[in-house]
Structure 1
Amino acid sequence: MPDLRRAARLALAATTPAGRSVIALGVVSTVVAGQAGYEEFRLIAIMCGLLVLVALLLFALPTRVRARLELRPAHTTAGETGAGELRVTNLRLTPLYHPLVTIPLDADRDERRGAQRVHVRLPVLRRNQPVTEQFEVPAVRRGVLRVGPAGARRTDPLGFFQRHAAWSDPAELLVRPRMVSVEGLGPGSVKDLEGTPSDQVSMSDLAFHALREYVRGDDLRHVHWRSSARAGRLYVRQYHDTRRTHAVVLVDDTRSAYADPEDFELALQIAASVVMRVALDEFDLSLVCGPQQLSGAAQHVLDAFCFSELAAGDLVVSARTAAHLAPDASQLIVVSGSRLDTDLLPAVRDAFPDDVRFLGFRADPDADPDAPGAQGPQLVTVDALERLPGLLASHVRGIVL
């Protein structure tokens, strides 16, 4: 029964007022001709039926238009607009005069309340002459925005039926969280293009350690020929194994850690701002936020934020996952909400070696970060994204002092 109702609504929406009038006239004429026997009304009913049949046949013909919808780039930031390009080629024998192309946004998600749409007015489309038009996509909220398919309102020549004819495949726009610029992540965070020497000894690296006698299997490229000639036996170089700063960003996706879903959006904004700072410092980077677990470039990490959602997560389990993902981590950055259980933090830190630096953020729009004692020794409480740079700078100065 629900399917029948939905089909009836779709059929009614696809029929124009002119089409409904002709159908109603045909039905009334059929009833009158059957009851009163008037042949004139029977003829009217036949004519109405023929007109509706011809309109349906013409309406069912395929649309001879080729279109391609692209988003360049395929990502933007919440509150900003994305850039799109629509390329259309008319394959019909006759021109299309200034068609109005409609591009729905998240039509499947917003079907009940009506999807937002972008309209693009095209010039005259002549046969086999491609036309390219630019358009903007409003991206209000973080997430994955489904754009398209692009198409136009199509009717039959009699104007009895109408529908949105899809011309292209849909595309996805990745809407990243808002970000602000921060100056630094604390003491010891310096740019290290060549890494810093560790206590581990390696046979191939940058920091020289010592010479030792050659053993079978050593790479001959590391033979120190001058010392070997002086001693009459082969000696090879040993090196300190260097380590680059590897920052791990751990975002708590536990639903109970946030008083409101909007607090999670603030947490993602804080994490995204930190990721940009890590990218500018050219550190290695890893992210764990529920099922989003990856290491790599900041661009891929920022895209992963678009898919992040609140769930029944576990911060300690996520920390152990992050430690396994980045065994060479040197800095751990945890972002959570106002209802974070601080008793979990020791277990989170225990998942990493003792020499891993720790920095924590608590997203709490209702907090007063300027109140005495609001900023604890472990966590930076952030009430608004715009205040993050100043709060982080004050926290770092407090650590340094």
Structure 2
Amino acid sequence: MTLRTESHTSRTSHTSTSTSTSTSTVSATHTRYASGRAGSLVEVVVWWLRAWRTLTAAIRATLRWVGETVTTAGWVAVFAVIVLLPTGLIFGWTELILAGVVGAALIMIALPFLTGGRAYSVDFTLPVERVVAGSEVTGALRVTNIAKRLELPGRIDVPIGAGLTEVYVPLMRPRQVHEEAVVVPAYHRGVIDVGPITTVRSDPLGVLKREVAWASINRLYVHPITVSIPSTSAGFVRDLEGNPTSDIVDSDISFHAIREYAPGDGQRNIHWKSTAKTGKLMVRQFEESRRSRLAIILSLDTAEYGSDEEFEMAVSVVGSLGVRAVRDGRDLAVVVSEEMPDIVSTRMRSVRSLNVISSRTLLDDLTTVGSSPRMMAIEEVCVLAAQVIPDISIAFVACGSAITPARIQALRLKFPANVSIVAVLCDPQSPPSYRDLSGTGVLTIGILDDLRSLLARKAA
């Protein structure tokens, strides 16, 4: 029985399976059919399988196109043509026949509006990429008719976050440019994606439509509102070069006293004048200096805030303190809780450190944080922050009014004894105040500006 070979390469393969020989330069798949009755049957089956795959792919593409092209009004017209018109013809109902004829006429009138290729070139730009919450950004939409013929009026959809702005394009001559200002509302903190822009071609009655999406997306970061804090902010933040502590060491900058030499002391610390006076080797002692490391901890647990306004104020507090610390060149860490899945909420603890390379990166990260009932309690965040951040000098804890005084007092136990703790309590219903609660400073603010005034008063 002879064999007939179909091959997709220019070289002949001497194997009966799908292989690539060492002398072949192109890998290929070879299919062979027997010339007998069984081979012909296999060939027919393979052909039908290929035809079925092609047919099903075409049907799926057609259904997809129909779903994207036919509007709600269009489906009403299609229903009238497919259902009402045959029913009217069968039973002789003039009303149904008329409805079917009208539906067919609407579809025929709408079809010419979909002909032609993509005639618009669309360009959308935003003047800035970052803005403070509570403002608006005006973007520029530029539409150009790239066709060599008149282009009928159309519509362009500009998605802005979860919303949609419709821009109507007039009748345009070839190479004509139409510009439109699009306002992007940035009233709340967050990240707003503008795009992808979609050009919509439709008939005047909205029976059929044709959409072309442009892939470009403009991202707008809406930063939290911040206030400027003086660099001397409250004797809370120690000097950048290091603040002397009560710990006595053998080598540092801040001189403390002179004592007798003990075995193991370095010779460079010997005080020769005192040695000459006493006749004994005397060495210098120093007070240990520590570089300021500032930790800012933000509570993300929804249960710890009385309202969304309090949470947004806490985010602004973190942003204000963090921007001031970055500008002063201080060692800074901003820590928030990671969201805990319910299935592991009692077994896993996780915190996230925000990017503090610059004030811009910090504010960018703050645009994405949000409260959730699946976040860790502030006490647990403080414990984990104290473990992962070395040499903390002072910790600011931003929280809401739902935190009780007893819980604030317990924060003292979550950090080493030499760490100063300041809790910033955001409560719009309370007057601004500062009090000491068993070694934990408590700043209560009603508005964001209270933070600046309280820190300045503490510094004075």
TM range (shorter): 0.5 to 0.7
Instruction: Return the offset for 1:179.
Output: 1.7
Q: Which residue of 1 aligns with 2:220?
A: 173
Q: CA 1:97 to 1:56, structure 2 compared with 1: closer, same or farther past 3 Å? A: closer
Q: Which residue of 2 aligns with 1:335?
A: 398
In 2, are the aligned partners of 1:320 and 1:351 still within 8 Å (CA)?
yes
Using the aligned pairs only, state the percent identity: 25
Paired residue for 1:35, among 91, 94, 103? Answer: 91
Residue 303 (structure 2) aligns with = 256
Displacement of 1:171: 3.6
Secondary structure of 1:153 counterpart: strand
Partner residue, 1:293: 353
The answer (yes or no) to whether the contact 1:120–1:135 under 8 Å persists in 2 is: no
* Larger CA deviation: 359-368 vs 161-170: 161-170
Name the structure 2 match of 1:73.
128
Tell me: CA distance 1:74–1:324, structure 2 relative to 1, closer, same or farther (3 Å): farther
- Write the letter of the residue equivalent to 1:14: T
1:82 aligns with 2:137: yes
Counterpart CA distance in 2 for 1:200 and 1:156 is: 85
Which residue of the partner structure matches residue 186 of structure 1?
Answer: 234
Please tell me whether the aligned partners of residues 80 and 103 of structure 2 are also in contact (alpha carbons under 8 angstroms).
no
Secondary structure at the counterpart of residue 376 of structure 1:
strand
- How many angstroms does 1:344 deviate by? 3.6
* Cα distance in 2, alignment partners of residues 168 and 200 from structure 1: 64
Aligned CA distance change for structure 1 residues 16 and 164 (closer, same or farther; 3 Å): farther
CA distance in 2, matches of 1:37, 1:260: 62
For residue 392 of structure 1, what is the aligned residue in structure 2? Answer: 455
Q: Deviations over 1:68-118 (max 9, x none)?
A: 5454533222111235454656554435477553323233xxxxxxx3537
CA distance in 2, matches of 1:116, 1:37: 43
TM-score by length of 1: 0.67
Contact 1:191 1:282 in 2 (8 A): no
Write out per-residue CA displacement over residues 237-279 of structure 1, whole angstroms, 9 at most, x where no aligned residue: xxx9986533211111122211223211121122222222223
Q: What is the one-letter code of the residue matched to 2:89?
A: A
Per-residue CA deviation, residues 146-166 of structure 1 (Å, 9 max, x unaligned), is 322222432158863236643
2:431 corresponds to: 368
Give the Å deviation of 1:365: 1.0
State the SS of the aligned residue for 1:173: strand
Contact persistence 1:258–1:264 (CA under 8 A)? yes
After TM superposition, give the deviation of residue 186 of structure 1 in Å: 1.4
Match of 1:140 among 165, 187, 204: 187
Match of 1:219 in 2: none
- 2:322–2:334 CA contact under 8 A, matched in 1: no
Task: Report the more deviating stretch, 67-76 or 136-145.
Answer: 67-76
Unaligned runs of at least 5 residues, structure 1: 1-6, 108-114, 214-239
Match of 2:371 among 297, 310, 331: 310
Tell me: CA distance 1:12–1:344, structure 2 relative to 1, closer, same or farther (3 Å).
same
Q: CA deviation at 1:336?
A: 0.5
Q: Distance in 2 between matches of 1:123 and 1:356?
A: 69
Is residue 23–residue 49 contact of structure 1 (8 Å, CA) maintained in 2? no
Alignment of 1:209-220 (within 5 A): none
Which of 258, 272, 275 aligns to 2:322? It is: 275
Unaligned runs of 5+ in 2: 1-63, 256-264, 268-286, 339-351
Whole-angstrom CA distance in 2 between matches of 1:177 and 1:160: 44
Pick closer, same or farther for the CA change 1:132–1:151 going to 2, 3 Å: same
Aligned to 2:383: 320
Cα pair 1:249 1:334 within 8 Å, conserved: yes
Residue 15 of structure 2 corresponds to none
Asked whether the 8 Å contact 2:150–2:171 carries over to 1, the reply is no
Whole-angstrom CA distance in 1 between matches of 2:290 and 2:108: 76
Kept in 1, the 8 Å contact 2:299–2:399? The answer is yes
Distance 1:365 1:276, change over 3 A: same
C-alpha distance 319-155 of structure 1, shift in aligned 2 (>3 A): same
Q: Which of 427, 444, 455 is the equivalent residue of 1:381?
A: 444
Aligned to 1:224: none
> Contact between 2:133 and 2:189, CA under 8 Å: does it hold in 1?
yes
Instruction: Write the letter of the residue equivalent to 1:162.
Output: K
Q: Give 1 or 2 for the bigger CA radius of gyration.
A: 2
Contact preservation (8 Å) 1:361, 1:382 = yes
Per-residue deviation, residues 151-190 of structure 1 (Å, max 9, x unmatched)? 2432158863236643344443222221222224311636
Letter in 1 for 2:363: L
Please report the TM-score for the alignment, with normalisation by the length of structure 2: 0.59
Distance 1:76 1:33 in 2: 64
Letter paired with 1:251: L
Give the distance between the partners of 2:289 and 2:128, measured in 1 at CA: 37
Q: CA deviation at 1:314?
A: 1.7
Q: Deviations over 1:121-144 (max 9, x none)?
A: 6995855x9887664411111122
Match of 1:52 among 107, 118, 127: 107
Distance in 1 (CA, whole Å) between partners of 2:108 and 2:288 is 80
